[in-house]
């Protein structure tokens, strides 16, 4: 039987064209992928294409859209060997992280890809990215199991774990980085799979979680941050979880008012997750005096998780309805390979 791949199109630069009136890029409907990429007929797979009705620039991405995307994958899970998601690059790392938590026991490839230049442009990186993503989603090992049974991001010549990725470049074709985890595959003349870093295929049944809770926030530290800024952020109504983007290995000001504010919020039930602003390396609370206090008042270490993944993980765990203590303990455990402890 032929390998079957479903390509899901959500919007983004890859399928954009210039609006004649405004001159800005707007999404258009692909309708049939083969019309745009006839070369796909040379691949011996069944490739089906699904386009979401409301195609979006990924800056308009929402948890509701993630739920539709997860639902489409669930609906088609048994019919296809792998999935490719065409998505804008701006929030791709958030979506790939979210889907990794939403799709528990995923045993098939879900490859996110996009492009920096629209498909219609002569030098577009979109064509290569789509073709490589389809090949990766279809790839099987000698036992007939998928090579990459997890959520990943393919951009230019690298396949990265989705929940380890960050968009770090707005211009280069190599737009993503995974500072704390090796590439799952390197795309060159051949696609070289780094199997020791790829998740093992599970035999458990897929569980799709769709209760993402958006009552979370991010507070990025900077020299000169004011009392009002911290105070008001911590008192955001309904907020249940906050990512504190700290310096270096998880460090923050030792100023009394700052620590007191955080402590009061934690005592009030807020979960504060310590994630470093650095693109690689890990939070090590207690290594410096400047993180010792955070540890004492109950800030939770994010180890080497990315902000994108931390946000998705908080939304997922809070959405699942776990108690505060349970959320705090799951936050420190790798659930989908998103952190190293
Ligand atoms: N603004 C676009 C988006 O994220 C950029 C891209 O597709 O790469 O949808």
Is residue 12 within 6 Å of ligand 1 at its C-beta?
yes
45 and 4 in contact (C-beta within 8 Å)? yes
Q: If you average pLDDT over residues 193-220, what whole number do you get?
A: 97
Closest CA to 163 of 97, 71, 221, 228: 97
Instruction: Place 29 in a pLDDT band, splitting at 50, 70 and 90.
Output: low
For the Cβ of 150 lying below 6 angstroms from any atom of ligand 1, the answer is no
How confident is the model at residue 121, as a pLDDT? 79
Range with lowest mean pLDDT among 17-26, 134-143, 240-249, 275-284? 17-26
pLDDT at position 110 over 70: yes
Decide whether any atom of ligand 1 lies within 6 Å of the 88 Cβ.
Answer: yes
Give which of 150, 153, 134, 154 is closest to 206, Cα–Cα: 150
Given pLDDT bands bounded at 50, 70 and 90, which one contains residue 21?
A: confident
Q: Give mean pLDDT, residues 243-264.
A: 96
Residue 3 appears among annotated catalytic residues:
no
pLDDT at 298: 96
Higher pLDDT, 184 or 17: 184
Which pLDDT score is estimated for 28? 66
**How many CB atoms sit inside 10 A of residue 25's CB?**
15
Of the candidates 150, 154, 77, 162, the one whose C-alpha atom is nearest the C-alpha of residue 109 is 150
pLDDT score at 16: 78
Flag whether pLDDT at 293 surpasses 80: yes
**Whether residue 126 has its Cβ less than 6 Å from ligand 1:** no
153 Cα: distance to centroid of ligand 1 (angstroms): 14
Q: Which residue has the higher pLDDT, 36 or 339?
A: 339
Q: pLDDT > 70: what percent of the chain?
A: 98
Could you tell me the end-to-end alpha-carbon distance of the chain, in angstroms, rounded to an integer?
Answer: 42
Q: Quote the ligand 1 centre to 61 CA distance (angstroms).
A: 10
- pLDDT over threshold 70, residue 127: yes
State the closest ligand 1 atom to the C-alpha of 116, by its place in the atom list counted from 1: 8
Q: Does the C-beta of 118 come closer than 6 Å to ligand 1?
A: no
Distance (Å, whole) CA 36 – CA 252: 51
Mean of per-residue pLDDT scores for the chain: 94
- Residue of higher predicted confidence among 178 and 36: 178
Nearest ligand 1 atom, CA 90:
4
Q: How far apart are CA 77 and CA 75, in angstroms?
A: 6
Can you tell me the distance from the alpha carbon of 290 to that of 246, in angstroms, rounded to the nearest whole number?
10
CA of 267 to the centre of ligand 1 (A): 40
55: helix, coil or strand?
strand
- The model's confidence at residue 77, banded by pLDDT at 50, 70 and 90, is very high
**Active-site hit among 13, 166, 246, 276:** 13
Q: Grade residue 120 by pLDDT with cuts at 50, 70 and 90.
A: confident
Average pLDDT over residues 122-127: 89
**Token match 């699942």: residue?**
320
Does the pLDDT of residue 54 top 90, yes or no? no
């Amino acid at each position: 039987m032929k390998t079957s791949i479903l390509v899901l199109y959500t919007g983004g630069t890859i399928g954009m064209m210039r609006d004649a009136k405004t001159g800005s890029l707007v999404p258009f409907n692909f309708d049939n992928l083969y019309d745009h990429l006839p070369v796909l007929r040379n691949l011996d797979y069944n490739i089906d294409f699904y386009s979401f009705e409301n195609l979006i620039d990924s800056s308009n991405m929402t948890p509701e859209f993630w739920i539709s995307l997860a639902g489409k994958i669930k609906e088609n899970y048994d019919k296809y060997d792998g999935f490719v998601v065409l998505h804008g690059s701006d929030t791709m790392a958030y979506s790939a992280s979210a889907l990794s938590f939403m799709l528990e026991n995923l045993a098939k490839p879900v490859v996110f890809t996009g492009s920096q230049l629209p498909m219609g442009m002569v030098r577009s990186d979109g064509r290569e990215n789509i073709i490589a993503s389809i090949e990766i989603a279809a790839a099987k090992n000698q036992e007939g199991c998928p090579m990459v049974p997890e959520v990943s991001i393919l951009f230019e010549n690298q396949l990265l774990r989705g929940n380890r990725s960050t968009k770090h470049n707005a211009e280069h074709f190599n737009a993503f980085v995974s500072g704390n985890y090796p590439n799952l595959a390197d795309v060159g003349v051949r696609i070289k799979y780094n199997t020791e870093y790829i998740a093992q295929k599970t035999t458990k049944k897929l569980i799709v979680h769709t209760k993402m809770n958006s009552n979370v926030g991010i507070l990025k530290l900077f020299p000169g941050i004011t009392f009002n800024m911290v105070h008001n952020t911590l008192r955001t109504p309904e907020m249940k979880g906050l990512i504190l983007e700290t310096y270096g290995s998880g460090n923050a000001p030792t100023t009394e008012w700052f620590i007191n504010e955080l402590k009061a919020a934690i005592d009030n039930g807020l979960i504060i997750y310590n994630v470093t602003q650095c693109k690689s390396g890990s939070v090590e609370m207690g290594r410096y005096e400047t993180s010792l206090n955070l540890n004492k008042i109950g800030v939770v270490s994010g180890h080497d998780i990315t902000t994108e993944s931390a946000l998705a993980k908080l939304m997922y765990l809070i959405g699942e309805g776990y108690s505060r203590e349970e959320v705090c303990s799951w936050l420190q455990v790798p659930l989908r390979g998103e952190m190293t402890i």
